[in-house]
Amino acid sequence: MPASNKNQSNVDYDVIIVGGGMVGLSLAGLLLEQNNKVAVIDPKAVESDWPEDSIGQRVSAITRASERLFKQIRAWEFIGEHEKAPYQRMFVWDGESSRGKIEFDASLVAEKNIGHIVENRVLRRALFQSIERDRQLDWLCPERCLSVDYQQDYAKLELESGRQITARLLVAADGAFSWLRKTSGVGQEQKPYGHKAIVCAVKTQNSHQHTAWQRFDHHGPLAFLPLADEHYCSIVWSVDEAYADQLLALGHEAFAERLSQTFESTLGVVSLASKPVAFPLIERTAENMVAHRLALIGDAAHTIHPLAGQGVNLGFSDAIELSKVIDQSLQKGADIGLKHRLRPFERARKSEARAMQLAMQGFKRLFEQEVPLIQMARSHGLALSDKHPLLKQKLIRKAMGL
């Protein structure tokens, strides 16, 4: 495919991506396939080496749709088999009642697995390795932005190094506290969930059985996500802020004991493999995902509760949709940075992100209820859903992004 039409303005790049995390790098891979000249700016170098026995603090549940993206841009091949943990089953139960449970199995949709659990540092390294040698890419790192200036035909960034660079389109992929979003004057709505997510790695007495486990009670959801070693899991424990502070104040042994009790010793005795850390959970929604010569993707555009593990996958879907809209403009010889050219991306992605946010709000409210009648209805609902294969097939495919 020919490169974009440079006659419209004398710019350094077609697209500058501010933020070289997983979502920003995935977009860079897609844009480079279209023969765009791309710059990626990030203050933090890509981690490429770590102790063999260490476990990353943060992991992501990679859907089949995201896996296809990584394969398309040749990043999947840079993730070793020992670095990705496929899971065949999901088991979800209501901790307030023994009858409320639902189980999902990949065999229901004739698939080998539902998805993979991969450490975020592994994903970022693989995405970077897949594009680092591309001649159309400039990796500006470590680097920070100082100012942005939007003109009719281009956008200009002034960098901390003193360099000034221009592009027809800027993309904010710099996270929930996006500098580019704020500096560009795009507002953001915030709704605190009142929860903190505690994350750490644990060792379990029994095998995780290649299953993603999730238990709900009135404090919030507790997920055990399987890692490559069958006796290790990454946990995400989302609880109200006061209870989170109490848990973090416990010693490691006491924390592990409370964790095992809450998990009903489903995988036997649990011990910590890394130090628990917590971060507040806030639903964030940018007022707009596009403006003149600007598009927002990933956490810069929206954040959701992690109970369904879909946050980063929403970001990957943003990257896919934005690259499609850019390609459509290129095919027509049109200016990729004009707001009306970017609007199809915003329409497609804003509605899906909002639907996911509403679903997460609903789940949170439903499971934090302590009213016995509501708990009973919730429990029966899970049990009835577990008996309907067609419904479960639909839910599995949705979770896989198919």
Instruction: Please say if the pLDDT value at position 87 is more than 90.
Output: yes
Residues 6+ apart with CB under 8 A from 31: 14, 15, 38, 323, 326
* Domain coordinates in residue numbering, the chain: 6-400
Lowest model confidence (mean pLDDT) among 129-133, 138-142, 313-317, 375-379: 375-379
Higher pLDDT, residue 395 or 17 = 17
Burial class (CB in 10 A: 0-12, 13-18, 19+), 370: exposed
pLDDT band at 5 (very low <50, low <70, confident <90, very high): very low
Instruction: Please say if the pLDDT value at position 88 is more than 90.
Output: yes
Q: Which residue has the tokens 């549940």?
A: 61
Terminal Cα distance for the chain, rounded: 28
Higher pLDDT, residue 108 or 130 = 130
CA distances from 292 to 124, 185, 207, 334 (A): 29, 12, 52, 14
User: How much is the pLDDT for 7?
Assistant: 39
Residues 6+ apart with CB under 8 A from 383: 99, 100, 101, 102
Residue 218 is encoded by which pair of tokens? 């009135």
State the Cα–Cα distance between residues 271 and 289, nearest whole angstrom. 43
pLDDT band at 371 (very low <50, low <70, confident <90, very high): very low
User: How much is the pLDDT for 321?
Assistant: 97
Instruction: Please say if the pLDDT value at position 311 is more than 80.
Output: no
Q: Which residue has the tokens 């603090």?
A: 57
Residue 145 is encoded by which pair of tokens? 């932005």
Rg of the chain taking only CA atoms, in angstroms = 22
- Cross-strand partners of 282: 192
The secondary structure of the chain, three-state, reads CCCCCHHHCCCCEEEEEECCCHHHHHHHHHHHHCCCCEEEECCCCCCCCCCCCCCCCCEEEECHHHHHHHHHCCCHHHCCHHHEEEECEEEEEECCCCCCEEEEEHHHHCCCCCEEEEEHHHHHHHHHHHHCCCCCEEEECCCCEEEEEECCCCEEEEECCCCEEEEEEEEECCCCCCHHHHHCCCCEEEEEEEEEEEEEEEEECCCCCCEEEEEEECCEEEEEEECCCCCEEEEEEEEEHHHHHHHHHCCHHHHHHHHHHHCCCCCCCEEECCCCEEEEEEEEEECCCEECCEEECHHHCEECCHHHCCHHHHHHHHHHHHHHHHHHHHHCCCCCCCHHHHHHHHHHHHHHHHHHHHHHHHHHHHHCCCCHHHHHHHHHHHHHHCCCHHHHHHHHHHHHCC
State the Cα–Cα distance between residues 360 and 354, nearest whole angstrom. 10
Higher pLDDT, residue 8 or 117 = 117
Higher pLDDT, residue 380 or 179 = 179
Contact 215, 263 (CB under 8 A): yes
pLDDT tens, position by position, 28-77: 999 999 999 999 999 999 998 888 888 888 999 999 989 999 999 999 99
CATH T-level assignment (fold) for domain 6-400: FAD/NAD(P)-binding domain (3.50.50)
pLDDT band at 8 (very low <50, low <70, confident <90, very high): very low
Measured torsion, CA atoms of residues 46, 51, 52, 55, in degrees rounded to the nearest 10: -70
Instruction: Please say if the pLDDT value at position 145 is more than 50.
Output: yes
